[in-house]
Amino acid sequence: MKRIERAIISVYDKTGIKEFAKTLVNEFNIEILSTGGTGALLEKNNIPYVKISEYTSSPELFEGRVKTLHPKIAGGILFRRDLEKDIKDSIENNIPPIDMVVCNLYPFKQTISRPDVTLKEAIEMIDIGGPTMIRAAAKNYHHVVVVPAPACYSQIIDELRKNDGIIPEKLRVELAIKAFSLITDYNSTITNFLLSSYHPSEMFKPVMFKTYQKVSDLRYGENWDQRAAYYRDLASNHGLFDFKQLHGKDLSFNNYLDIDSCIQILLDFGIKNHVTTIIKHTSPNGVAMDEQDQLISVKKAFSTDPLSAFGGIWGFNSMLTEEVANYIVNEEKVFLEVIMAPSYESKAIEILKQKKNLIILEFGDFLEKRSEIYSNPELRSVLGGVVVQEYDHKPVVKEWNVVSKKKINEEDKKALIFAYKVSKWAKSNSACFAQIYDTGIYTIGIGAGQQSRVHVIELAVRKAKQFGHEKALIHSYLGTDSFFPFPDGLEVAVKAGAKAIINPGGSIRDDLVIHKADELNCALVFCGKRVFRH
Amino acid sequence: MKRIERAIISVYDKTGIKEFAKTLVNEFNIEILSTGGTGALLEKNNIPYVKISEYTSSPELFEGRVKTLHPKIAGGILFRRDLEKDIKDSIENNIPPIDMVVCNLYPFKQTISRPDVTLKEAIEMIDIGGPTMIRAAAKNYHHVVVVPAPACYSQIIDELRKNDGIIPEKLRVELAIKAFSLITDYNSTITNFLLSSYHPSEMFKPVMFKTYQKVSDLRYGENWDQRAAYYRDLASNHGLFDFKQLHGKDLSFNNYLDIDSCIQILLDFGIKNHVTTIIKHTSPNGVAMDEQDQLISVKKAFSTDPLSAFGGIWGFNSMLTEEVANYIVNEEKVFLEVIMAPSYESKAIEILKQKKNLIILEFGDFLEKRSEIYSNPELRSVLGGVVVQEYDHKPVVKEWNVVSKKKINEEDKKALIFAYKVSKWAKSNSACFAQIYDTGIYTIGIGAGQQSRVHVIELAVRKAKQFGHEKALIHSYLGTDSFFPFPDGLEVAVKAGAKAIINPGGSIRDDLVIHKADELNCALVFCGKRVFRH
């Protein structure tokens, strides 16, 4: 491109525009064209400019709805400086080149985020002239510089200085890409807003636009030979990107999946009591809730299956204490990859940092933002598309329906709900045996990922026995994520020691299952909500 | 709105435009404004219209880059018919209302899909004037009708006839939403194209735009209380949306996940031999490959674990025969929810339809399009964003490294690769025992979803024994999806009868594992590729 001779400036966000315009004029002798509000600001600061209405001999119309939509502006931006025919057209029609477009848009996103916004106000904020100029300049990036955000000003000035009033091709390209990105996101926000305004009851609209911004490339994906990355959804105000990493190596793809499971279990338990949850391969392998002491909850959760806990993710719902940090660092068999907690006692961090590779994450008040966190749906790729669903964020108990003759007291109820929450997050089909101790509840055997109910219950029993919970199985509690298709699973559980079982119910053989529970004197709750997670 | 008096027509895709324009003029006495190519077509068909260059007294410039970008056009579309000030502006400046905008865009998507397209040609196809008019009309939908695609013409005419030249608000809104959707997708395609052109080596770009089009709402999500839907990714040419449903009830959310796993296993096996794969909860629970006979492969796959096969998804890589259909319908213990095959013998379909609820899917030559199918990455939600990765579509064996003293023949190799492919698709950690029979290979015990290697191998052994494969375990083959952290898992497998084992290798204790294999006279292959799937 040639030296920049003429720039149009028309911005809603006026951050830094005064200094930027001044430099263009004083250092590079660039002629400025400008409109209403922006022009007034330049005038106030004695920065010379030409009014667009004078430049085009056409007034600003309809309260600014039409001001830059003019052939002399569009043509000045769009014509090809390397084409004889275009040059001829531009001279014959008195359309001098406009080499730079500095423009940002009416703030549609901010406007609609106001809770009291009306449809009319929102629509008024749909910018027409701005996107036209930005797109025209971006299209013609071989000859024109588009400056679509204040964040670009300092780099532009640097490059103009370095290159004697010229912006190099590489930067023009990047600016054009940025411009089209902003325009896409702007239009996508408008479309989503109109869809929500006119189809409020339809959760899933006929078309769904997503803008994802890369947070980081990842070393690899699920396996070493898959490239991968982590993106933020621009429609979400909260997410894993809120987490602060205090120590350790970069997060891997599988770390993200595990952390996601871990924080969601914690979201289900909330901030009451001391909860420790140990995750391996996105499934919990030990969870405990202690009313008084964090360290006890840690030991209890770890005791469930110390073998599989190796290399796991440990999550907490309360400030991590120095005492627990000491335990984690010094206990011989404990080896974890990630630790995550709302906050840390200051000495706890120092102690944990002794583990060079340990990833330490702090998530502040994240557990208190449940409803905002779950406002967007969950996506999952299937070949050529996605299945989307609401997150499974409703209470795990829909109705408390004790269907057995044997009744249930408050303590039993707490333990059952605890077991059922863990079972929810263990991969389906899943089963979780839990037991009460003097100050809390903990898991004693978790089975996950089986293709039949009876298999997974057998598996959970076996694991409980393997890790020394044979006695704790006596009078234990079982949560299992879907109904019993046959009474056999219940029979296995009761024989192992279960005194009460929670599941959603809903099998065509529920009668047989209830009958078997009564026969074996086991309490049975149908809670009406299945908690599959594949 | 008032009766439509004036419409602008400027279309690239001229489908149906002649008839549409004729009706506007003849039946509703609407004045047409038009440009270059569209105008020529109207002229040829004796449809009266006003040239935009005459209407604006401004010539078409720069080979059509500038023709509608004019205050008289933009203003005529944008001004508010219910605002005194705007009406005054329009009269004083001689800007009559334009009540309808019929416009479609330069075909950017089709242009860039041509394999020989140049960057320059693509950029020339970025439409500037069209999106401006479409967005202006869509913004002002209270007063103006936007007609952004030929598919809308017949409905427009119907409504004009019903309402005496007026388009009702409801339709104007829907058209505006459609218009903004098209514009968003158009800009997103441009942005993605520029990113790919200028950052070709970066698989994951700084920003990622996705347009999803709803194919269907689903009854519910993973659980009964989660709303859900299935969307097509507009950037994908192939996907589950290619499948034809020949029979049965609507697909559920979990059906989609299972079908996705099932077709991906089949993609890994390809179209050679007769492969049957039975899926339950996205994990294979029986797979067989027969060189001669489909029915044998079915029986073998079913024999692996007939209990968990209940309610599963059955997939085939070859035309489904009448014989197999008979077996499926008449065999007492067989109950499946979905059957999927490239094609069906005509009688096979009739036989299968006897099962009222059975979902029958036909996927044609899908298995032959592997590389196109895997050209887009896989997404998975984590709170507030997504992790994205290349699909795991590379060959499961990266290098064939026999690390044991005991060697391996060609037959062993085939059986090991078979077992390893199944292990890949079983949820991690997984283990698959396979055995050879006279005309093929089949699974005899699959373990999935465990948090330690030794657990999952124990589980697979137990399942093999439970379903009568105790003898088949002798001299069997084991594939397991990641390395042995300790020799214990290998020991369990060999004691159960495994003669050869494949895994990626890569543990810090590989030496101990190899030593144990040699001690037990077991063949051991490290194939260098992990196949986790969580």
| Token representation of residue A226 | 């898959």
Nearest CA to A289 out of A409, A199, A421 is that of: A421
Residues of chain B contacting residue A427, judged by C-beta atoms under 8 Å apart: 427, 449
pLDDT digits (tens, 9 = 90+) for B469-495: 999 999 999 999 999 999 999 999 999
Number of domains forming the structure of chain B: 3
CB A480 within 8 A of CB A501: yes
Same domain, B359 and B420: no
Same domain, B161 and B13: yes
What is the ipTM for the molecules in this complex?
0.90
Q: Torsion angle of alpha carbons B310, A403, A495, B495, nearest 10°?
A: 30
**Cβ of A187 and B183 within 8 Å?**
yes
Q: Which pLDDT does position B385 carry in this prediction? A: 98
Please provide residue B241's backbone torsions phi and psi, each rounded to the nearest 5 degrees: -65, -10
Q: At residue B451, does pLDDT exceed 80? A: no
In a domain, A531, yes or no: no
**Locate tokens 């004729």: which residue?**
B22
**Cβ of A62 and B78 within 8 Å?**
yes
Among candidate residues A174, A198, A222, the one where a domain is terminated? A198
What does the pLDDT average to over A212-230? 96
| Token representation of residue B222 | 């993973």
Instruction: Lowest mean pLDDT of A22-31, A260-269, B34-43, name the range.
Output: B34-43
A494's CB contacts (< 8 A; 6+ apart) are A501, A517, A520, A522
Same domain, A316 and A430: no
Same domain, B300 and B351: yes
Instruction: Lowest mean pLDDT of A238-252, A429-443, B78-92, B465-479, name the range.
Output: B78-92
pLDDT digits (tens, 9 = 90+) for A446-498: 999 887 899 899 999 999 999 999 999 999 999 999 999 999 999 999 999 99
Q: Which long-range contacts (CB under 8 A, 24 or more apart) does A49-54 make?
A: A49/A9, A49/A21, A52/A8, A52/A10
Same domain, A125 and A28: yes
Burial of A290 (0-12, 13-18, 19+ CB in 10 A): buried
A233 shares contact with chain B (CB less than 8 Å)? yes
Same domain, A407 and A332: no
Please provide residue A386's backbone torsions phi and psi, each rounded to the nearest 5 degrees: -140, 150
Q: At residue A36, does pLDDT exceed 90? A: no
B472 shares contact with chain A (CB less than 8 Å)? no
What does the pLDDT average to over B89-93? 91
* Residue in B66, B212, B381 nearest the CB of A208: B212
**Cβ of B173 and A198 within 8 Å?**
yes
What does the pLDDT average to over B322-333? 95
**Cβ of B378 and A381 within 8 Å?**
yes
Q: Strand, coil or helix: what is B168?
A: coil
Task: Give the pairing of strands A145-147 and A100-104.
Answer: parallel
pLDDT confidence band for B496 (50 / 70 / 90): very high
In a domain, B246, yes or no: yes
Angle (CA) A102-A107-A109 rounded to 5° is 130
Q: Which pLDDT does position B1 carry in this prediction? A: 74
Among candidate residues A198, A226, A256, the one where a domain is terminated? A198
Q: Which pLDDT does position A530 carry in this prediction? A: 96
Task: Give the pairing of strands A31-34 and A50-51.
Answer: parallel
Same domain, A88 and A179: yes
Residue B162 known to be catalytic? no
pLDDT digits (tens, 9 = 90+) for A319-343: 999 999 999 999 988 999 999 999 9
Cα distances from B425 to residues A350, A387, B283, B448, B532, in angstroms, run 42, 19, 6, 9, 8
Q: How far apart are CA A76 and CA A88, in angstroms?
A: 13
Q: Which pLDDT does position A195 carry in this prediction? A: 94
Q: At residue A190, does pLDDT exceed 80? A: yes
Question: ω before A429 within 30° of 0 (cis)?
Answer: yes
A62 shares contact with chain B (CB less than 8 Å)? yes
Q: Which pLDDT does position A64 carry in this prediction? A: 79
Cα distances from A9 to residues A1, A12, A34, B89, B245, in angstroms, run 20, 10, 5, 25, 56
CB B135 within 8 A of CB B74: no
In a domain, B211, yes or no: no
Residues of chain A contacting residue B308, judged by C-beta atoms under 8 Å apart: 450-452, 455
CATH number of the domain within which A158 lies: 3.40.50.1380
Q: Which pLDDT does position B106 carry in this prediction? A: 85
pLDDT digits (tens, 9 = 90+) for B182-208: 999 999 999 999 999 999 888 899 999
A257's CB contacts (< 8 A; 6+ apart) are A282, B380, B382, B387, B534
B235 shares contact with chain A (CB less than 8 Å)? no
CB B208 within 8 A of CB B195: no
In a domain, B311, yes or no: yes
Same domain, B363 and B449: no
| Token representation of residue B409 | 């023949």
Sheet containing A6-11: give its strands across: A50-51, A31-34, A6-11, A100-104, A145-147
B205 shares contact with chain A (CB less than 8 Å)? yes
The full DSSP string for B398-411 is S--EE-SSS---HH
In a domain, A385, yes or no: no
Residues of chain A contacting residue B391, judged by C-beta atoms under 8 Å apart: 226
A66 shares contact with chain B (CB less than 8 Å)? yes
pLDDT digits (tens, 9 = 90+) for B241-276: 999 999 999 999 999 999 999 999 999 999 999 999
Q: Which pLDDT does position A2 carry in this prediction? A: 84
Q: Which pLDDT does position A501 carry in this prediction? A: 98
Same domain, A445 and A347: no
A97 shares contact with chain B (CB less than 8 Å)? no
Sheet containing B50-51: give its strands across: B50-51, B31-34, B6-11, B100-104, B145-147
Q: What percent of chain A has pLDDT over 90?
A: 90
Nearest CA to A92 out of B59, B429, B166 is that of: B59
Angle (CA) B112-B113-B114 rounded to 5° is 90
Nearest CA to A205 out of B141, B178, B172 is that of: B178
What does the pLDDT average to over B208-229? 95
pLDDT digits (tens, 9 = 90+) for A303-318: 999 988 889 999 999 9
Same domain, A190 and A97: yes
**Chain A residue whose CA is closest to B83:** A62
Same domain, B330 and B405: no
A5 shares contact with chain B (CB less than 8 Å)? no
Q: Which pLDDT does position A452 carry in this prediction? A: 85
In a domain, B207, yes or no: no
In a domain, B327, yes or no: yes
Q: What percent of chain A has pLDDT over 70?
A: 100
Residue B78: give the domain boundaries: 6-198
Q: Which pLDDT does position B373 carry in this prediction? A: 95
**Locate tokens 């213990």: which residue?**
B333
Q: Which pLDDT does position A1 carry in this prediction? A: 74
Among candidate residues A369, A392, A412, the one where a domain is terminated? A369
pLDDT confidence band for B460 (50 / 70 / 90): very high
Same domain, A409 and A358: no
Q: Which pLDDT does position A153 carry in this prediction? A: 97
Residues of chain B contacting residue A391, judged by C-beta atoms under 8 Å apart: 226
Q: At residue A534, does pLDDT exceed 90? A: no
In a domain, A72, yes or no: yes
| pTM confidence score | 0.90
CB atoms under 10 Å from CB of B192, counted, come to: 22
> Does the CA dihedral A470-A475-A477-A478 come out positive or negative?
positive
Q: Which pLDDT does position A37 carry in this prediction? A: 86
Angstroms from B496 CA to nearest CA on chain A: 19
**Chain B residue whose CA is closest to A208:** B212
**Chain B residue whose CA is closest to A75:** B66
B223's CB contacts (< 8 A; 6+ apart) are A392, A529, A530, A531, A532
Q: At residue B167, does pLDDT exceed 90? A: yes
Q: How far apart are CA A323 and CA A198, in angstroms?
A: 55
Nearest CA to B459 out of B478, B439, B441 is that of: B478
**Cβ of B194 and A203 within 8 Å?**
no
CATH number of the domain within which A283 lies: 3.40.140.20
Instruction: Lowest mean pLDDT of A28-32, B110-114, B488-492, name the range.
Output: B110-114
